[in-house]
Amino acid sequence: LAGRDFRQEDTVIRIGDVEIGGGQIQVFSGPCAVESWEQLLEAALAVKKAGARILRGGAFKPRSSPYAFQGLEEQGLKLLARAREETGLLIVTEVMDPRSIDLIAEYSDILQVGARNMQNFHLLRELSKINKPILLKRGLSATIEEWLMAAEYIMSGGNYDVILCERGIRTFETATRNTLDLSAIPVIKSLSHLPIIVDPSHGCGKWQLVRPMSMAALAAGADGLMIEVHPNPAEALCDGPQSLKPHKFVSLMDELRGVAGLM
Ligand code: PEP
Ligand code: MN
């Protein structure tokens, strides 16, 4: 179902007047984790001012350490919904557990499956039954074939609205957090009709690399970007070193508009 042989034309996912895929470039941006109303609102206003349409923010966080901040959970979802009311931005947030799908779907427009859950087949099967788009991140060490098979799990249950997200893979390199595989974009484009976006924040782990890799991703044909933005990266509870300050994000978006005819 995810393959070009099943469907030749690019899939376009429409949410209100926002189109994902089929030539439109969409930017999904916001903090790694929702931390407070003040933090989220400031990030959301920057996202809106920059001209992006989709606000990201984790309420349930998949942290490597059980002692790290795990997210505000339902309280975080409520803040995201309030930010949507305030700004008109669409909301994307991560789902980690089949038991919280209904709760998260109540508050968000797109549900994100994180890299660590790309092959959580029970989760994928349950997400195939809902009628909201799924943002499916590439697994930490997943091949492109495994990634497309994960999309197939969601589609085979009836949910065809899958957005792929390249977020870097594990290699021997330590200068970057992951190795952002930009060749995945043309490979996916040849194999699949699904939209693919790129997350240079998690892909590189350093805010300084977000601008060049955003440019490169769009040059390689990505349908959009996921970029972490935090009003005060030094104090962020999660992923500060890879988060852009709001003014940096606004100027990056201006630049991208120049090169890519963004939105
Ligand atoms: C995130 O988007 O904040 C996240 C946890 O991403 P990934 O699953 O790609 O690590
Ligand atoms: Mn993050």
Is 263 inside any structural domain? no
- Mean pLDDT, rounded, for 209-217: 97
Is 44 inside any structural domain? yes
Q: Could you tell me the distance, in angstroms and rounded to a whole number, from the CA of residue 5 to the centre of ligand 2? A: 34
Q: What is the pLDDT of residue 261?
A: 61
Mapped onto helix, strand or coil, the DSSP state of residue 114 is coil
Ligand closest to Cα of 137 equals 1
The CATH number given to whatever domain includes residue 214 is: 3.20.20.70
Mind listing the pLDDT tens digit for each residue in 134-143? 999 999 999 9
32 CB near ligand 1 (under 6 Å): yes
Is 37 inside any structural domain? yes
Q: What is the pLDDT of residue 262?
A: 57
Q: Could you tell me the distance, in angstroms and rounded to a whole number, from the CA of residue 204 to the centre of ligand 2? A: 11
Q: Whose CA is nearest to atom 1 of ligand 1?
A: 32
Is 128 inside any structural domain? yes
Phi, psi (rounded to 5 degrees) for 28: -105, 115
What's the predicted TM-score (pTM) here?
0.97
Is 198 inside any structural domain? yes
- Mean pLDDT, rounded, for 214-236: 97
Q: Could you tell me the distance, in angstroms and rounded to a whole number, from the CA of residue 49 to the centre of ligand 1? A: 24
Closest among 230, 233, 225, 162 to 199, alpha carbons compared: 225
Range of the domain at 116: 13-257
- Mean pLDDT, rounded, for 214-225: 97
Is 195 inside any structural domain? yes
21 and 194 Cβ atoms separated by less than 8 Å: yes
Mind listing the pLDDT tens digit for each residue in 40-92? 999 999 999 999 999 999 999 999 999 999 999 999 999 999 999 999 999 99
Ligand closest to Cα of 116 equals 1
Count: domains in the chain? 1
pLDDT at 171 over 70: yes
Q: Whose CA is nearest to atom 6 of ligand 1?
A: 114
Is 4 inside any structural domain? no
Is 77 inside any structural domain? yes
